[in-house]
Amino acid sequence: MSMVPAFAHAENSTPSPVAGAVYMGDFTAPKLDTVKCAFIGVGARGSGHAASIAQIEGTEIVAICDLYEDLAKKSADTCKEVGGGRHKKLTTYTGGESDWKKMLKKEKPDAVFIATPWEDHAPMAIEAMKQGAHAFVEVPLALTVQEMWEIVDTSEKTGKHCMMMENVNYGREELIYLNMCRQGAIGELLHGEAAYIHELRGQMNSVERGTGSWRTYHYAKRDGNLYPTHGLGPVAQYMNLARGEDNFQFINSFSSPGKGRNLYAKKNFDAGHKWNALDFKGGDMNTSIIKTTLGRTIMVQWDETSPRPYSRLNLIQGTKGTLAGFPNRVALEGGVDGATDSHHEWAEGEKLEAIFEKYEHPLYKRLGELAKKMGGHGGMDFIMRYRIIECLRKGQPIDQNVYEGCFWSAVGPLSEASVAQNGAPQEFPDFTRGKWKNTKALDIIA
């Protein structure tokens, strides 16, 4: 698949909607008493999805597909073991590059969960919707703006949800900050900071199979923010972007020199190794600035190479205070009750307990203890999976609509285009075709 970045304005013009298009912003699909689920890709990420969803009431795992027979069998056995007898008819599809298509046509699942290499996300989601399934896709949703429009058009034509599974939006702190923003605790929102800073050079040791075997080529061929959504998703929902209040407008992006991957390859692999035949041109650190329709700003950073601690930043700043993560901190004008006397000092550590309890999100109150037991990035994975099934069974709008997945993922190709043009601004496509202005804000779900 080509990894050529999207270009600024011409490629971002708004195409006409497809015939019979249904706007998916607040869309509710018919209720499903039992959600028949299928999985494409059950490596480290996909197997976790399958095992967790297999334990959620109202699900039936009908099929699992993976290129590797051992992974498919192991995942299927786990689902049967933990599923309380509900998944006895589970069938595996393995070995063939197109077996996932056979699975979709034969099994007719209600929901398909896709956890495959990035370049496969869009074609698999599009085909799943065409075959009558709701598509739930690992991040990013797609690699090019053209693919994102194809996803939008297919979702609107088929009336099938397509949700990018941004699990970080379901983290405890992110849910608390969302609740605080909705309740006006920090006033009018002005600025956000989001990141995915996670040193992952060790993935390069998975040479023939596993994440490094395909992801390593992206670092060599692309220069921009390759993985924007973990930090950006929560900040975008704090700001109600693409949901009635505000929306993405422009992005400027700059990359540092690309040094770390080349050095790692030379240090850890023989001179003749294929990793040493690559020139890792992608900058080790990418920094982008997003400007919204209302003039707000968001700094988005990405670095999977440099030796530094993990961070998503998770900062949201308003006229009455600021909320930040890594570590969690709160500063409010006039101080935080029982913790600080003014905004010149952060409330952090144990001083946050009272204010976090005050603004604990009702969804976390309901599911938090169970989520901790189920695991997955501190429980956020389980809450996300639970909500997916709950929305499908109750006929509710999903928490992250197809347009949000496209906007958040579009930072990838748009940042590449901006970097290639020395930081020139790139205009975001309006994947909603103007309908974001009438889209409801995400509810504080109880």
Determine the pLDDT at residue 376. 83
Structure tokens at 187: 């006033």
Determine the pLDDT at residue 32. 98
Quote the CA–CA distance of 97 and 228 in Å, as a whole number. 28
Quote the CA–CA distance of 106 and 323 in Å, as a whole number. 49
User: What distances in angstroms separate CA 401 from CA 11, 137, 185, 242, 347, one per listed residue?
Assistant: 23, 12, 26, 10, 34
SS3 107: helix
Least confidently predicted of 86-90, 192-196, 301-305, 375-379: 375-379
pLDDT grade for 12, boundaries at 50, 70 and 90 = low
Domain ranges of the chain: 10-167, 169-364+399-438
Q: Are 149 and 125 in contact (CB under 8 A)?
A: no
* Average pLDDT of the chain, as a whole number: 96
Length of the chain: 446
Each residue's pLDDT tens digit, 202-236: 999 999 999 999 999 999 999 999 999 999 999 99
Determine the pLDDT at residue 3. 42
pLDDT at 8 over 60: no
Structure tokens at 194: 């989001």
Q: What element of type H or E holds 136?
A: strand 134-137
pLDDT grade for 390, boundaries at 50, 70 and 90 = very high
Fold that domain 169-364+399-438 belongs to in CATH: Dihydrodipicolinate Reductase; domain 2 (3.30.360)
pLDDT grade for 375, boundaries at 50, 70 and 90 = confident
Over residues 246-274, the mean pLDDT reads: 98
Give the type of residue at 25: G
Q: Which of 143, 139, 147 is nearest to 166 (CA)?
A: 139
Each residue's pLDDT tens digit, 282-297: 999 999 999 999 999 9
Quote the CA–CA distance of 381 and 57 in Å, as a whole number. 16
Over residues 243-266, the mean pLDDT reads: 98
Vertex 433, ends 431 and 436: CA angle to 5°?
A: 80
Structure tokens at 96: 């063939």
The CA R_g of the chain, rounded to the nearest whole Å, is 21
Q: Are 375 and 111 in contact (CB under 8 A)?
A: no
pLDDT at 5 over 80: no
pLDDT grade for 10, boundaries at 50, 70 and 90 = very low
Q: What element of type H or E holds 368?
A: helix 362-374
Q: Is the pTM of this model over 0.85?
A: yes
Structure tokens at 23: 């706007």
216: Cβ–Cβ under 8 A, 6 or more apart, which residues?
203, 204, 261, 275, 278
Question: How much of the chain exceeds pLDDT 90, in percent?
Answer: 96
Vertex 167, ends 223 and 6: CA angle to 5°?
A: 30
The CATH code of domain 10-167 reads: 3.40.50.720
Q: Are 151 and 125 in contact (CB under 8 A)?
A: yes
> For 101, what's the count of Cα atoms within 13 Å in the CB-facing half-sphere?
7
Longest pairwise C-alpha distance within the chain: 64
User: What distances in angstroms separate CA 440 from CA 157, 174, 397, 429, 444, one per listed residue?
Assistant: 21, 20, 10, 20, 12
pLDDT at 4 over 90: no
Vertex 17, ends 431 and 426: CA angle to 5°?
A: 30
Q: Which residues pair with 309 in a beta bridge?
A: none
Over residues 124-144, the mean pLDDT reads: 98
Over residues 148-163, the mean pLDDT reads: 98
Determine the pLDDT at residue 9. 39
Q: Are 112 and 90 in contact (CB under 8 A)?
A: no
SS3 291: strand
Quote the CA–CA distance of 196 and 304 in Å, as a whole number. 8
Quote the CA–CA distance of 335 and 232 in Å, as a whole number. 27
